[in-house]
Amino acid sequence: MPNSTPHQYVLLRNGRVLDPSSNLDVTGDVLVANGVIEHAGAPLGDVRRDGDLVEIDCAGQVVSPGFVDVHCHLREPGREDVETIATGARAAAAGGFTAVCAMPNTDPVTDNQAAVGFIIRQAMRAAAARVYPIGAISVGQKGEALAEFGEMIGAGAVAVSDDGKPVASAQLMRTALEYARTFEIPVADHCEEPTLAKGGAMNEGVVSARLGLKGIPSEAEEIMVIRDILLARRTGGHVHLCHMSTRTSVELIRWGKDRNIRVTAEVCPHHLSLTEESVEGYNTNAKMNPPLRTAEDVEYLKQAVKDGTIDLVATDHAPHHYDEKEREFSDAPNGIIGLETALAVMVTNLVEPGIISYATLVDRMSCSPARIFHLPGGTLRRGSVADITVFDPAARWSVDPATFLSKGRNTPYAGMSLTGRATCTIVGGRIVYRLTS
Ligand SMILES: [Zn+2]
Ligand SMILES: [Zn+2]
């Protein structure tokens, strides 16, 4: 119900109110008044308000600050057949995300003020999850001239990235970090050394050898990780490393953080739950960049989410047309959709096995991304914007891509049984999604 009229008051009753940003974990109530959190915590008892009040029973559910995805691809403008800002924003809301950041590798590239403004207008019209544009680092993502950061930020961009393409030039990355520093925004990098990665279709290792596919060595990522960390140290800029996939990347990030260098990092649910083995049978829904790695890498990444070396979880939601994923493996495009499975993949693979708590899950999917990208939300503190996710931690469901609100169907989780599901998503006090079962 994306266009439901906002209620003046929303009262969420009897949920597990969980907000790591304010050390809150109690069974109680959350009251939203005119789009703002009025109360989060102990049960309120009798609540009477003049005006329109909707009450939702959240018994057995977790009520947390809304999830924030700092990395997704919404394909508009250019590929509205694959996803639009509206369908992406609705898919986000269905996954429990109250805000998403849209990467600029659209057609045309989001590299100027007008393009940023277009995304913001489309997002307003969709009236689902908030959509924050990320501007390109370089004009046309060509890796040559820096885009006009100031103008894009003025129009509403929250970060810069050439994601989809690596920033091959160390000099350009250095300048981007210096320039971004004056605006206090992160530079989000797709870490990939292009000469090593060239022509690769999956992780380089025993599986790629067996399948006869050209591999991408983990060093293609790690060389860029350490380059970016060293450039952040040199410039004082904030580098945010996208979709980390290897053990050594984790070790390098730890090295940087130990020295107080301004480096933050994200990991995607698929890199925490799947290995290169998923490619067996030339499954193009397991083809992504960076590629799925080894079980050892997955284990390290999980521990890095637990200990905070990896700051946050992002989806890298990347819808593709069915026909394109039907191509031969080496020619198929990279990427999978992720907005509607992220929570369940995290609960099933990290929380249920006891690796992280629900508080850590909420921190890595909400508080931390909001804080690192300087976005509203990520908290249930009184007076904050009422961006809230209600989820059923025990809901067991079978992934059926045909039911997704995203236009994308390219997911390796199809048919899998997962646990954990968003049941109600609230953006600025407005109910933008409710699970109907
Ligand atoms: Zn990327
Ligand atoms: Zn991406």
394 alpha carbon to ligand 1 midpoint, in Å?
32
> Using CA atoms, how far apart are residues 10 and 224, in angstroms rounded to an integer?
46
Residue-level length of the chain: 437
> Using CA atoms, how far apart are residues 264 and 199, in angstroms rounded to an integer?
28
Beta-carbon count within 10 A of 422 CB:
26
Asked if the model's pLDDT at residue 3 lies above 70, the reply is: no
295 alpha carbon to ligand 2 midpoint, in Å?
22
Which residues, by Cβ under 5 Å, contact ligand 1, an ion? Answer: 163, 190
Phi and psi (nearest 5°) for 228? -65, -40
Asked if the model's pLDDT at residue 77 lies above 50, the reply is: yes
Q: Which bound ligand lies closest to the C-alpha atom of 197?
A: 1
Which among 341, 194, 372 has a CA at the least distance from the CA of 269?
341
pLDDT band of residue 15 (cuts 50, 70, 90) is: very high
415 alpha carbon to ligand 2 midpoint, in Å?
24
> Using CA atoms, how far apart are residues 386 and 384, in angstroms rounded to an integer?
6
Q: Which bound ligand lies closest to the C-alpha atom of 335?
A: 2
Q: Which bound ligand lies closest to the C-alpha atom of 105?
A: 2
> Using CA atoms, how far apart are residues 214 and 198, in angstroms rounded to an integer?
9
- In the numeric block, the tokens 């009422």 are attached to 386
pLDDT of residue 6: 82
Asked if the model's pLDDT at residue 377 lies above 50, the reply is: yes
Asked if the model's pLDDT at residue 1 lies above 60, the reply is: no
Helix, strand, coil percentages (3-state) for the chain, rounded to 5, are 35, 25, 45
pLDDT band of residue 4 (cuts 50, 70, 90) is: low
Residues 2-12 as b/e (b if ≥16 CB within 10 A, e otherwise) read beeebbebbbb
DSSP character string of 391-427:
EEEEEEEE--GGG-SSS----TTTT-EEEEEEEEEEE
Strand partners, 63: 17, 390
316 catalytic? Reply is: yes
Pairing status of strand 388-398 against strand 417-427: antiparallel
**What DSSP state is assigned to residue 356?**
S
Q: Which bound ligand lies closest to the C-alpha atom of 164?
A: 1
For 6, 40, 74, 341, 399, the CA distances from 417, given in Å and listed in that order, are 34, 32, 26, 11, 6
**What DSSP state is assigned to residue 363?**
I
The answer to whether 136 touches 162, Cβ cutoff 8 Å, is yes
pLDDT of residue 153: 98
84 alpha carbon to ligand 2 midpoint, in Å?
16
pLDDT of residue 2: 46
Which of 27-41, 47-61, 158-172, 231-245 is predicted with the least confidence, judged by mean pLDDT? 47-61
> Using CA atoms, how far apart are residues 270 and 16, in angstroms rounded to an integer?
27
166 alpha carbon to ligand 1 midpoint, in Å?
8
The answer to whether 32 touches 10, Cβ cutoff 8 Å, is yes
Indicate the average pLDDT of the chain: 97
Q: Tell me which amino acid residue 153 is.
A: I
318 alpha carbon to ligand 2 midpoint, in Å?
7
Inter-helix orientation angle 247-258/295-307, to 10°: 30
Asked if the model's pLDDT at residue 429 lies above 80, the reply is: yes
348 alpha carbon to ligand 1 midpoint, in Å?
24
Beta-carbon count within 10 A of 375 CB:
20
Asked if the model's pLDDT at residue 50 lies above 90, the reply is: no
**What DSSP state is assigned to residue 430?**
E
Q: Which bound ligand lies closest to the C-alpha atom of 242?
A: 1
Determine the Cα angle at 209 with ends 203 and 213, to 5°.
65
Mean pLDDT of 381-391: 98
Exposed (0-12), middle (13-18) or buried (19+): which is 417, by Cβ within 10 Å?
A: exposed
205 alpha carbon to ligand 1 midpoint, in Å?
21
Q: What is the pLDDT of residues 108-155, one digit of tens each?
A: 999 999 999 999 999 999 999 999 999 999 999 999 999 999 999 999
> Using CA atoms, how far apart are residues 104 and 161, in angstroms rounded to an integer?
7
pLDDT of residue 369: 98
Q: Tell me which amino acid residue 98 is.
A: T
The answer to whether 252 touches 229, Cβ cutoff 8 Å, is yes
Catalytic residue among 163, 228, 316, 363: 316
435 alpha carbon to ligand 1 midpoint, in Å?
31
The answer to whether 158 touches 117, Cβ cutoff 8 Å, is no
Asked if the model's pLDDT at residue 291 lies above 70, the reply is: yes
